[in-house]
Amino acid sequence: MGFKTKKVFTWIGIVLLIVITSGLGVRALFNYINGKKLEQYLADLKARGRLFEISKIVPSCADQDNAALLWKAAESLLILERHDKELLARVSDISEWKNFTPEEKKKIEALIEKNRKVMELILEASTRKCFLYGDLSKSPLERKLPDYTLMIQATRLLIVDSILKAEKGQTEEAGEQILKGLAFARLSHEEPVLISYLVSMANARMLVYNLNRIISGKELSAAALTRIIESLDAESWRKGMVRSFEAEKRFSLETYNLLLRGEILSGVNSKLWDRIYYWIIRPVLKSEVIWLSEHYEEMIQTAQEPFYRNEKAQLGSSSEIKIPAKYKLAGLLLPHLYTVILKEATLEAFLEAARAGTAGHIYRIQRGHFPEKIADLVPEILKKEPIDPFTGQPLIYRLKNNTFIIYSVGSNKKDDGGRMSVMTQAVMEKDDDWSWQESWQ
């Protein structure tokens, strides 16, 4: 190698050294600056009482009060073969149940009996005071969670068993079982992860949907109907949503904290090159923590507002969250919280329509006929007139031929005559109402 070639390589080495040294210096400077900003930001959050440990978000839960312990036992006992799951997946309401062949119904009945102990455990769990499945002392990625697929399937079993009871004329017993399922769904959303809240909401909606079909056109006592009204509490679900957002925020902060400390997280930085990458971008991660935390704070505030007054949620539910391109991890950790707010409003619509519809039953027992308008239910049966969470106006009530329908206009804010598409996931142009009917065809 000639002298000139050596000189060239020497200069290349010097330039590379300067570039690397300069890059490391810039990284060190930004790491220091962003570290100080993050330190100050977290200190401000703590001073304002907005930096919670996960144990502060979740209520204390003694073993004797913990419904999750009974659910763990139910998980271990639930017996579902592949063909059982396929059959059970078709069950969502009575209208589908009526389409089952006699042979399919026998298979479902056998499946219920095979899992009778599972349902007994769920019904017992519904009487407990709290639900805590995972160990809060463990990191978010190590914390064990319920099997949510099994929870949905077990809820379907509970619904079908209630349908069978109603078919045998045991309407009040069937209704009580649905209400206990709803109580279990409310408890299970206390597990401090967003997926738990979403599954609980889906189960609650399915239970209320079927409760209507079980009791419509049936003669129930005023006491049984009053218990139904008392069980349909929309406010607890909004509070639960806020708590789940708080928990999800804490989960994200803990994940970032582990990365900033250089700990190895399965599936994130378990490979050497991943660890090098996260070390290099640590200054960006520190600013990303602030951005993500502020976004969660905004969502937590938004979640506390009724949907009809929540312009941000109405606009955000139909659009993508704009995450700065440099914040890669946020794209993985940040769920679409506006959609969660929309789903919660849908559940509120179901619950409010169910309360008003059940109150109409009580009115008929007392007066011999259904009310002419919802306002007639106030104040003897309902303390206040239920409103549509999507409009802030009274629910629509139509009385015809000694039967009625009461409904919310849904997220499209259009009166579709009470028609609804049960599997709605977002804003729909039609059939977006959420209704309770006295007579189902």
Which residues have C-beta within 8 Å of that of residue 112, sequence separation ≥ 6?
Answer: 119, 157, 160, 161, 164
CA atoms within 13 A on the CB side of 188: 31
Structure confidence at residue 85 (pLDDT): 81
Closest CA relative to residue 381, chosen from 217, 229, 185 = 229
Spatial contact of 406 and 360, defined as CB atoms under 8 Å apart: yes
Identify the three-state secondary structure at position 395: coil
Residue showing tokens 């009487």: 127
Separation between Cα atoms, residue 88 and residue 57, nearest integer Å: 35
What type of residue sits at position 284?
A: V
As beta bridge partners, residue 394 has 387
How far from chain centre, in Å, is Cα 79?
A: 26
Closest CA relative to residue 356, chosen from 221, 232, 227 = 232
Identify the three-state secondary structure at position 398: strand
Closest CA relative to residue 247, chosen from 56, 41, 39 = 56
Separation between Cα atoms, residue 396 and residue 387, nearest integer Å: 9
| pLDDT tens per residue across span 308-345 | 888 877 777 666 778 888 888 887 778 888 889 989 99
Structure confidence at residue 424 (pLDDT): 45
What are the residue boundaries of the structural domains of the chain, listed by start? 61-231, 343-437
Number of C-beta neighbours around residue 418 at 10 A: 19
Mean pLDDT by 10 residues, the chain (441 residues): 66 72 77 86 83 76 95 93 80 70 87 93 96 84 88 92 90 94 94 92 92 87 92 90 90 86 76 82 89 90 88 73 83 82 92 94 92 92 92 91 89 83 48 76 52
How far from chain centre, in Å, is Cα 332?
A: 18
Structure confidence at residue 400 (pLDDT): 79
Closest CA relative to residue 434, chosen from 375, 354, 376, 360 = 354
Which residues have C-beta within 8 Å of that of residue 326, sequence separation ≥ 6?
Answer: 284, 288
Closest CA relative to residue 254, chosen from 283, 292, 284, 281 = 292
Spatial contact of 208 and 350, defined as CB atoms under 8 Å apart: yes
Spatial contact of 57 and 247, defined as CB atoms under 8 Å apart: yes
CATH 3.30.700 correct for 343-437: yes
| pLDDT tens per residue across span 108-136 | 889 999 999 999 999 999 999 999 998 88
Spatial contact of 365 and 222, defined as CB atoms under 8 Å apart: yes
pTM score above 0.85: yes
